[in-house]
Amino acid sequence: MADGQLILDFARAIGVSDPVAINQSIDLSQPLVWLDLDGTRLRQAMAFFREIESDETGRAPALAAGVLRKRNEVRLLAPVPRPGKLIAIGLNYRDHAAESKMAIPERPVVFSKFTTSVIGPDEPVVLPPGSDKVDYEAELAVVMGRHCRNAPRGEALDYVLGFTIINDVSARDFQFADGQWQRGKSCDTFAPMGNYIATKDEIPNPHSLGIRLRLNGRTMQDSSTSQLIFGVEDLVAFLSETITLEPGDVIATGTPSGVGFARQPPVFLKDGDVMEVEIEGLGVLANQVTHAATFARRVAKTTD
């Protein structure tokens, strides 16, 4: 709203104004109800948003009441701070498969990241002890908005709430040494996400978006989601054949060419690096890299 300079407080928008009331009205064990397309809370909040968006005279009272907040007054968390499931797809860009010298997969390559790896915009990515080959991966993420099982491909988008950015940070030494990907993909802070969810009406064609990653201002990945091997409908249909997808589940759709381990010489993240992932229509997700020891000293200093 207002070119991203105003933030709508969903809870206050539907009439829940104080923290105690918020805790009582929302089952804190199920915070993903806010992302349910069939739920009352999201519908109420979206109706309020449309009203404020169409009538600028209502913005001043909303600002005074704290329903709208200025962007510089808030700290954004990940738009899905703890997904029910964080499902990732490997080798899903033609150009990335080519640079990895691997054949185009016949079906989606599916793995997962533990949801404790999720962080928000501007939060630090912490290099784990024992790894010196941590890599970046710019990805388009799909956020589910309905319970979904056996979705026909032609109806798959009906179950999608929208899209966001994710950076599938990966410890390549862990990933390749372990013989499977779970630990190397799931280290704490290895799933930066944000800044927001763009609902699917705002992204009419998710398969025609520019996607790029800059490392310290240098463009490392520069591609398009038109390079996807399996598109959004394919992935939702394929996954839901055997896995029930639920509101707030996130599917990271894969990364294009330009990742660090495939470069000559390889490029891996180091303390102080700044990563920026930009996807057309979804803004820019920025995160700084820090070494575990540096991060520990910073935390200790702030708590003194």
Q: Domain check: are 218 and 270 in the same one?
A: yes
pLDDT given at position 298: 64
Does the residue 79 lie in any domain? no
How many domains does the chain contain in total?
Answer: 2
Does the residue 80 lie in any domain? no
Q: Domain check: are 130 and 95 in the same one?
A: yes
R_g over Cα of the chain: 20
Closest among 108, 56, 52 to 235, alpha carbons compared: 108
Does the residue 269 lie in any domain? yes
pTM value?
A: 0.91
Does the residue 81 lie in any domain? no
Last residue of one domain, picked from the residues 73, 99, 127: 73
Sequence-distant (6+) residues with CB within 8 A of 112 are: 85, 86, 87, 88, 182, 185, 186
Q: Domain check: are 155 and 54 in the same one?
A: no
pLDDT given at position 19: 43
DSSP 52-73: HHH-GGGHHHHHHHTSEEEGGG
User: Helix H segments across the chain?
Assistant: 10-13, 19-25, 40-54, 59-65, 94-99, 172-178, 182-186, 232-240, 292-303
pLDDT given at position 26: 44
pLDDT given at position 229: 97
Q: Domain check: are 199 and 174 in the same one?
A: yes
Ranges assigned E (strand) in the chain? 6-8, 68-70, 86-90, 109-112, 118-119, 125-127, 134-135, 138-144, 160-167, 170-171, 191-199, 210-215, 218-224, 250-252, 274-279, 283-291
Q: Domain check: are 180 and 103 in the same one?
A: yes
Range of the domain at 45: 6-73
Q: Domain check: are 183 and 283 in the same one?
A: yes
Query: Measured between alpha carbons, how far is 83 from 260 in angstroms, rounded to an integer?
Result: 27
Q: Cα torsion at 292, 297, 300, 301 (round to 10°)?
A: -140
Specify burial of residue 59 (Cβ count, 10 A radius: 0-12, 13-18, 19+). middle
Does the residue 20 lie in any domain? yes
Q: Domain check: are 141 and 46 in the same one?
A: no
Q: Domain check: are 221 and 296 in the same one?
A: yes
Does the residue 278 lie in any domain? yes
Query: Measured between alpha carbons, how far is 228 from 88 in angstroms, rounded to an integer?
Result: 14
pLDDT given at position 302: 61
Dig out the tokens for 219 from the structure: 């463009």
Query: Measured between alpha carbons, how far is 273 from 222 in angstroms, rounded to an integer?
Result: 19
35 touches 42 (CB < 8 A): yes
Query: Measured between alpha carbons, how far is 271 from 267 in angstroms, rounded to an integer?
Result: 13
Does the residue 26 lie in any domain? yes
pLDDT given at position 92: 97
- pLDDT of the chain along its 304 residues, tens only? 556 788 888 778 777 544 444 444 444 346 788 899 999 888 888 888 888 888 878 788 888 888 899 888 999 999 999 999 999 999 999 999 888 888 899 999 999 999 999 999 999 999 999 999 999 999 999 999 999 999 999 999 999 999 999 999 999 999 999 989 999 999 999 999 999 999 999 999 999 999 999 999 999 999 999 999 999 999 999 999 999 999 999 999 999 999 999 999 999 999 999 999 999 999 999 999 999 777 666 655 665 5
Does the residue 275 lie in any domain? yes
For residue 265, what is the domain's CATH number? Answer: 3.90.850.10
Q: Cα torsion at 40, 42, 46, 49 (round to 10°)?
A: 110
Specify burial of residue 180 (Cβ count, 10 A radius: 0-12, 13-18, 19+). exposed
Q: Domain check: are 178 and 269 in the same one?
A: yes
pLDDT given at position 64: 87
Q: Domain check: are 53 and 160 in the same one?
A: no
Q: Domain check: are 12 and 122 in the same one?
A: no
3-state secondary structure of 132: coil
Q: Domain check: are 179 and 224 in the same one?
A: yes
Question: For the stretch 82-120, what's the b/e string if a residue is b when 16 or more beta carbons lie within 10 angstroms of its beta carbon?
Answer: ebbbbbbbbbbbebbbeeeeeeeeeebbebebebebbbb
168 touches 88 (CB < 8 A): yes
